[in-house]
Amino acid sequence: MEEINFDCLVLIFNILKNDKKSLHSCLLVNKKWCNIVVPILWKSYSLDEINEKLCNVILSFLPSSSKKLLSNNDIKLPSLTLSKFPLFNYISFCRYISPDNVDEIIDIVLKNLCNDHRRNLMEQEIYKLFISQCKNVKYLCWTTRQPLTLFPRASIFFSQLYELYIDIDYVNSDALYELAQICKDLNTLSIKSCYRNNPELFYLIDAQRNLKKLILDTKVDEKTGKELSKALARNRTTINNLHLSSIDNIVLPLTILVNLKKLTIFHWENYKKVQQYLAIYEFPNLQQLTLMYGHLSSFKEVSLLIEKTMGNISKIDICSINKTAKEAGILIKSIADNCPKINYLRTYIEPKDFIHVKTLLLNCRFLKTIDLKSLDFLELFINENDNNIGDELLNIFILFSPKSLYEIIISGLWKYSIDAFNRFFENFRERPLYHFGINDGYNYVITNDHKIMFRKYINEGVVKYFNKLLLVLD
């Protein structure tokens, strides 16, 4: 029997990288297989919780100087750590460092004792170990006060980073300046707690040669907002993914983010400014738009933004609006007319605008997920006399749904008849739905008779998943 060549084995084992049970079995076949599998397993090591055995393996790599320092400070390492040296340099295979894993190692050794001095020493030596030994780390979450840039081999370590999450509360200006000198090839930079003007942070942003994604998970004062805006402008040719947790003091450059493909805005307070931005900006290459936990009072501005794109939008996700928001139908119509490639849509709608859903389904033939929430949160009570108003929407899905559509979520503030639901699910019998859900207020309009019917269709395989509560009888 011919032996499988090395390259084929590498390909096969990489396909199995998420099946750790199978990979562990492959370890035992022979030395050649073991040498291939071990690096693959350890590249994803910090996805798992650190147990005592794994802790011992990691600490076995501590140099004698570190062990002596810890011992001199009454930090007793496990005896197995000191007696055996592993067969592989496992740490060199790690692709990212998790501060949670570092804390877990410290807790195992110190038995959760709260001693700041000893914890600090343990943390220091563990980070020194990783920075000196890890050869291919791509992601680092910096939420420690340790001076990581001053540790041995830091220049090599940081020069290879692909993604960096950094909490400015933990990192002083000197460390940021050092980081800007040696870390220049980030693809993704996430920044938290940048409340005040920090020139060294802007040096770090400017130092990047190919920064694609910038996440600002922070509120900023006016001066910092202006400087961050200038940093965005200076990186105009590379940034295509922008995630803002607050936009109140950031002035987005009008014409220079033309390459932007993904825009996410979370937790904004000044909704008038957001709507102003959306109305006047142009992002022709936009592919994904996410507006979360703000208070849009009108969908008109979002519609204007969409109309100025080049038809490549694949995802629109709008969640949390002002209760008096208007013109939801304008947005649905704009999407139907300008987003032929869209596959995910979550937004709000009123029953009077159901007709636009028909156009949406006819024009957007790649749509996979649609999630429609009720625009008026009092709609249930306003329309008490409108019997089964949701049947119109179900009939539209029956008649016009594209073959690609496999997840449908609709509001529970509209009433639906049993007959309309039966027709709806029968329509999907030949191409089953992956998920059907009902959001807000379903408990007012969904009866036990509805739930019994839902159980029937899930048992028959017409729908794979329902909202769990839709299957629980009262």
pLDDT in tens, 145-171: 999 999 999 999 999 999 999 998 899
pLDDT at 69: 92
Indicate the pTM of the whole model.
Answer: 0.83
In the DSSP assignment, the letter for residue 291 is E
pLDDT in tens, 22-80: 777 767 677 777 777 777 777 665 545 677 877 888 888 888 899 899 889 988 887 76
pLDDT at 378: 47
> Who's near 244: CB < 8 A, 6+ residues apart?
216, 250, 264, 265, 266, 268
pLDDT in tens, 220-258: 777 777 777 788 878 878 899 998 876 655 655 545 567
Asked if residues 40 and 17 have their Cβ atoms less than 8 Å apart, the reply is yes
With both helix axes pointing from N to C terminus, report the angle between 116-133 and 99-110 in degrees, rounded to the nearest 10: 130
pLDDT at 367: 98
pLDDT in tens, 395-441: 999 999 999 999 999 998 888 999 999 999 999 999 999 999 998 77
Residue 78, judged by CB atoms within 10 A of its CB (0-12, 13-18, 19+), counts as: middle
Q: Whose structure tokens read 């998920």?
A: 435
Q: Which of 100-104, 222-226, 339-343 has the lowest mean pLDDT?
A: 222-226
**Residue 390 three-state SS:** coil
pLDDT at 474: 74
User: Which is more confident, 81 or 142?
Assistant: 142
**Residue 172 three-state SS:** coil
* Average pLDDT for 297-323: 86
Closest by CA position to 157, among listed 204, 206, 96 = 96
* Average pLDDT for 286-303: 83
pLDDT in tens, 377-400: 544 444 455 578 899 999 999 999
